[in-house]
Each structure stands twice: as structure tokens, then as C-alpha cells.
Amino acid sequence: MTDRTHETKVVKLALSNAGIKARVSHGNGTAWGWLHVYVGSNPYPHLCAHHIQGGVSSEDCLACTWYKTVPRDALAIAMNVTGRKGEYDGKINVLTQ
């Protein structure tokens, strides 16, 4: 896919259809070929024992689950839609806050 504007719109639509709110853009200057996907900040508080004493397991913590799944799913969708091969060698950058 070579048209950056079209690529941005297609990725954003695919992420939206998957229920992932994200901001999608391309890099500038020497990062011109990079696709940036900003999935935002985690909407859940950490309730796991790793972050607070006496908390639940990390498997039951919604915040930990969000960090494990949303960026990974966003990358997979972007790769599928664009035909790029991966995160860094494929020049896709998935960012969270």
C-alpha cells in the first residue's frame, strides 16, 4: 500500500471496527515510512498484586489484560490491513500511554 492517506484511513477504520479507539498517522522526515498507531491510555486501574498489596492476580486484572491484548491486536490488524511485515522492520509503531 503506497498512498499514505488511504493507508491511514483503512487502518483507522479496521481498528474502529474491532472496537479499538486509536489515532493513526505517518511519520515525518526520516521516519516518513513509519505508520504510527496510538492506542491511548489504559482505561482500567491496576488491581493486581504486582501493583498493590493484596490485589488480584495479573490474569484477573483488567489493566494488565488490556496492556497484553490491545497493543498486540492493534499491531495484528495494522499488519493484516497494510500488508506490512511487523512492528519495527515493517515500520509499524504501536504506542500506549
pLDDT at residue 92, rounded to an integer: 92
Q: At what angle do helices 62-82 and 4-17 cross, to 10 degrees?
A: 140
pTM of the model: 0.83
Q: What share of the chain is helix, strand, coil (3-state, %, to 5)?
A: 40, 20, 45
Q: Judge contact between 25 and 8, C-beta under 8 A.
A: yes
pLDDT, tens digit, 9 for 90 and up, residues 10-64: 999 999 999 999 999 998 888 888 999 999 888 888 777 776 777 777 777 888 8
pLDDT at residue 63, rounded to an integer: 85
pLDDT band at residue 2 under the 50/70/90 scheme: low
Q: Can you tell me the distance from the alpha carbon of 16 to that of 97, in angstroms, rounded to the nearest whole number?
A: 19
pLDDT band at residue 73 under the 50/70/90 scheme: very high
